[in-house]
Structure 1
Amino acid sequence: MDGLRALAPSTSYAGELETLQLMLDASIDCIKLLSTDGRILKINLAGRKALGLIAEPNRINLPWLKLLPQEVRRNGQRALRLATTGKRSSFIGKSELAGQPSIIWENILTPLFSNDGSVMGILCLSRDVSRQAKAEEKLREASLTDLLTSLPNRRAFKLYADSFRKRYLKNNLKTALLIFDVDNFKSINDLYGHDAGDEVLRQIARRLDAGKSGDEYMARLGGDEFVLLAGVKDACELTHVATRMLKDTSSPIDCAGVKVKVGISIGGAILSADQDLSQLMKNSDSAMYAAKQKGKSNYHIHGSVLP
């Protein structure tokens, strides 16, 4: 703090400092001078607006991180600690004011050194990156979404499956997987054309997604293959899920005025403690082919006995 006081102006520099403050207040970026314990010593106009401190003077002595949402404070504290060691740091933060949209900020913390080399304060430059963050989020969502059906795609399914399993372990439920395959889909394309085939997939996806319940997770793996993750107590409960899905997809699909009768085959399996996701998918896949052997619009659960 003594070093910071040494930076304080004498009256002979009052005019220069007033000009400097005007320059800082003209910036659209939030500019703050922080103490090493994270208190705001000086702040420009944009910073006061962003933090809801417009009525406050530019020297306010408030703990900066406590003015931010709870979810960003840990990363902010980590960046602040690093800056106090003399290293430049940064983190993505957020400001939220009542009645206004939240703003995403890139915060860059630069240590200020005294003559003896110790850190006497921190200069924090915060830049609004909300538009960039939203664009990146849209790209991320697009990379995880199947364009034809708007369901999560194979990549999203693989990313989600592990967290799904951990959540249900805490609830003493087993992770189950159902794989759905449209019966005779190639024939639908051949008879009615690929546009009709696409419409069949869209409507099947819509029905499957609408038929899921609770935390069940639906995705399209590709082609005419879909998957559903569910938390179940046992194989009996999984058969109820499969039966429900067969019923939801049983009515004909209207493709440009033509009623197309569509069936699905369902294979299911329950993840055991010694298996991973790839084995669960293999077991469900083999169960689906067993379902096809029974006939169209049928299901089979891995480990059960074929009639």
Structure 2
Amino acid sequence: MATSYEQFSSKLLTYTLMFLILSSLPIYVTVLSLELITFQVFTRFVSSVIPLGLVLYFVYRQSYKTLKGKLIISAYSFLLCSIVMWFIPTPNSGIVVFLFALLSLIYLDRYVTLLASGYGIVVLIIHQLFNPYTLEMDLLSRVVQFTLFAMCCITCVSVCIIGRRIIAHAQRSEKKALDNENRYRQIFELSPEANIVQIDNKIVHMNRSGLTMLGAQHLDELIGVDVFDLALPEYHDLIRAKAADLIAGKTILDYTELRIYKVNGEVIEVETNSISTLFNNRPAILSNFRNISETKSARETINYMAYHDQLTDLPNRYQFITKLEAELRYAVHRPASFALLFLDMDRFKSINDTFGHPLGDRLLKNFAKRLQGSLEPSSFAARLAGDEFVILLPNSNAETLGILIEPLLERLSEPFILKGQEISVTTSIGIAIYPKDGQDADTLLIHADAAMYAAKRQGRNNYAFYSTEMNEVNLRKMMLEQDLRKALQQGELHLVYQGKKDLSADRLSGFEALLRWTHPKFGAVSPAEFIPLAEETGLIVPIGEWVIRQVCDQINSWKQAGLSPLPVSVNLSVRQFKQDNLIEMLKTILLSTGIEPRLIDLEITESVASSNFEAPLIDKLHVMKALGVSISIDDFGTGYSSLSYLRLFPVDTLKMDKCFIRNIDHNQDDLAIVTAIIGMAHSLKLQVLAEGVENETQLALLKEQRCDGAQGYLIGYPVGASEVEPLLAPAHAFSNS
């Protein structure tokens, strides 16, 4: 198929030849009238040139679209030229040769031009040798004329080649531009995000995603719509300013959040950015829109979950500590005190045991609602865990608190009606006052907790202020603190191991190392009692190092016994993270014991998750991850761990706290929370392990929700290292199979 240019060039050349033939008639008539030629010559001219011209036109109409046709036209043209020249009474035949060689440049085809030039040289030679009008010229003139017009032909060929290259380059550039335009158009149309083009604030085009986002069926519904009619009025000034900047040539790369209307009037939230462009050769603005309504809703939900207790909707421990630390920073600059109240529901465990956990959870919800409704707006209440609540009362002292607390206790002791049951609970409250009873968050919480236990010992449904002479509980704590310093040297500490199960493979996937203390006087001391004490005193640092080394040595012992050890989890506290040589200590132990880093799983404890997430803490986690160990978040969802920090932590596994697992077999709310956590974790490409699995129903539900792992008494009780060996034998055999 010939291009428009090729058709034009063929037409121009042929019509030029026809014009020259036709214009030669009056010339010959004039020459005949002046008797410069005979009538016989004129007759021969007319009888040969006119038919040949008609044949030329016929050949042109049949073949101008092909290269072969071009060659035929060129050959025939120069044949005609030769015949015409034979009758022209002039020796300057080279002029016509040059003219036809020049006309051939219209094709800008080197083959046609070479042929035209060749024809021209042949015609010139024939005329120079045989035409009677040129026989009178001397030999030098003929050579000069021949050389001159031969050079003209060569020049034409050169111009043809150069011109053809220029045109080819232009055609390639045009094709490339067209391809780019088509590519950009495809990107525009197929983009999953909405693309909208506007000119003078009017919509002129948009892609299918834009129609879908705005709820339109056809483009005609939105063409010509003013962009200000789409956006809510409060955004009009912002849109107008950004459009002015784009028209002025400023590049704007920042994304802006807007609220816009859909076709049906529904309001959605979008994130948008715009650039200036051309549309149909007119200045336009191309805007990219992304619907973030669901994203923002999910973000708000996650943020809410991160700072609120899932059962009672009260602020959780993390938010409370954040609030308490902010109050402490503010209190440094003002001479005022505030009170920290630690509340614990009396005999709540017996209510759970009697009426069941679902009713106990409902009681906690109603209790939290009543607590919140009994406080002044300036107060701040939160749920720590279980049946423990805290209240922050600004601008309070010992003299004014009695007036506030007694009505509060009375209000909280009013019966609750749950499922037709009248249930009465009382509350014990411990009080610590800043700055008298502590000047940091940990100390105030510990002292308020101690005062709460004192209130329980005074008869429950009571309150007590913290005092330095606070009875045997404080004495026990002091004794434990002193004895804990010697526990390592005296061999009173030991480790037990609790199994973890891979639910998809239905086999053990690892163990968690748990620290135990057998006191010479008090016997077995609960970790819930001595671990916080170790963290408070800093003894957790040497104890933690001992635990890691013991675990590594034990793994080596299993390997030497011909067993295939499974990964072992070790808890790390915030105090351990604050030690400067933590990374070096880990490297040293791993190198000295020679175990594979993948066999160690470091669990971030609640105290770590509730601390300030400063950059050095995050950096340490990344360095530890680079060593090859895995990292888990323990007790996830209790209020310590925050979803908003998951993106900062190089986490492999989330361990759901047992408080969510405990009731999933008969509480749809807890099951929904567990399902949400599993789905969220999987979307972040994290493994999920459920703690506190105690029956087959819970395990079945977890498998149904695609939970990755489980841990609890159903999987296995904590046992000594020697009792782990039989459990490793099947794993060893499996790895060899």
- Provide TM-score, normalisation by structure 1: 0.63
Instruction: Report whether the alignment pairs 1:184 with 2:347.
Output: yes
Supply the distance in 2 between the matched residues of 1:236 and 1:65 (Cα, whole angstroms). 54
* Aligned equivalent of 2:357: 194
> What's the RMSD between the two structures over aligned residues?
4.5
1:122, CA displacement in angstroms?
9.2
Q: Aligned runs of 1:84-95 on 2, under 5 Å? A: 88-92=253-257
Q: Aligned runs of 1:117-136 on 2, under 5 Å? A: 125-136=288-299
Instruction: Report whether the alignment pairs 1:49 with 2:222.
Output: no
1:22, CA displacement in angstroms?
1.8
Gaps of 5+ in 1: 1-16, 31-43, 54-62, 69-75, 113-120
* Paired residues of 2:345 and 2:426 also in contact (CA < 8 A): yes
Instruction: Report whether the alignment pairs 1:107 with 2:272.
Output: yes
Higher alpha-carbon Rg: 2
* Paired residues of 1:181 and 1:225 also in contact (CA < 8 A): yes
* Aligned equivalent of 1:293: 457
1:269, CA displacement in angstroms?
1.4
SS in 2 for 1:176: strand
Per-residue deviation, residues 233-256 of structure 1 (Å, max 9, x unmatched): 422223333223211112233343
Do the aligned partners of residues 48 and 174 (structure 1) sit closer, same or farther apart at CA in structure 2, a change above 3 Å counting?
A: same
Do the aligned partners of residues 258 and 103 (structure 1) sit closer, same or farther apart at CA in structure 2, a change above 3 Å counting?
A: closer
Supply the distance in 2 between the matched residues of 1:248 and 1:169 (Cα, whole angstroms). 34
1:150, CA displacement in angstroms?
2.5
* Aligned equivalent of 1:139: 302
- Size of the aligned set, in residue pairs, is 249
* Aligned equivalent of 1:65: 238
Alignment match of 2:204 (pick from 15, 22, 27): 22
* Paired residues of 1:178 and 1:242 also in contact (CA < 8 A): no
1:207, CA displacement in angstroms?
1.7
Per-residue deviation, residues 278-298 of structure 1 (Å, max 9, x unmatched): 222112111111211211100
Gaps of 5+ in 2: 1-198, 215-223, 278-283, 472-737
1:175, CA displacement in angstroms?
3.2
1:180, CA displacement in angstroms?
0.6
Structure with the larger RCO, 1 or 2 (CA within 8 Å, 6+ apart):
1
Supply the distance in 1 between the matched residues of 2:297 and 2:467 (Cα, whole angstroms). 46
Q: Aligned runs of 1:137-216 on 2, under 5 Å? A: 137-163=300-326, 173-216=336-379
Supply the distance in 2 between the matched residues of 1:52 and 1:220 (Cα, whole angstroms). 40
Per-residue deviation, residues 71-120 of structure 1 (Å, max 9, x unmatched): xxxxx9xxx9xx96x78433545679xxx9875442336699xxxxxxxx
Instruction: Report whether the alignment pairs 1:284 with 2:448.
Output: yes
Structure with bigger strand share is 1
Structure with bigger helix share is 2
* Paired residues of 2:232 and 2:259 also in contact (CA < 8 A): no
* Paired residues of 2:343 and 2:427 also in contact (CA < 8 A): yes
Do the aligned partners of residues 233 and 217 (structure 1) sit closer, same or farther apart at CA in structure 2, a change above 3 Å counting?
A: closer
Do the aligned partners of residues 271 and 106 (structure 1) sit closer, same or farther apart at CA in structure 2, a change above 3 Å counting?
A: farther
* Paired residues of 1:180 and 1:226 also in contact (CA < 8 A): yes
Do the aligned partners of residues 302 and 90 (structure 1) sit closer, same or farther apart at CA in structure 2, a change above 3 Å counting?
A: same
* Aligned equivalent of 1:239: 402
Supply the distance in 2 between the matched residues of 1:169 and 1:66 (Cα, whole angstroms). 45
* Aligned equivalent of 2:579: none
Do the aligned partners of residues 93 and 48 (structure 1) sit closer, same or farther apart at CA in structure 2, a change above 3 Å counting?
A: closer
* Paired residues of 2:232 and 2:260 also in contact (CA < 8 A): no
1:173, CA displacement in angstroms?
4.5
* Aligned equivalent of 1:35: none
* Aligned equivalent of 1:13: none
* Aligned equivalent of 1:222: 385
The percentage of counterpart residues that share the same residue type is 29
SS in 2 for 1:151: coil
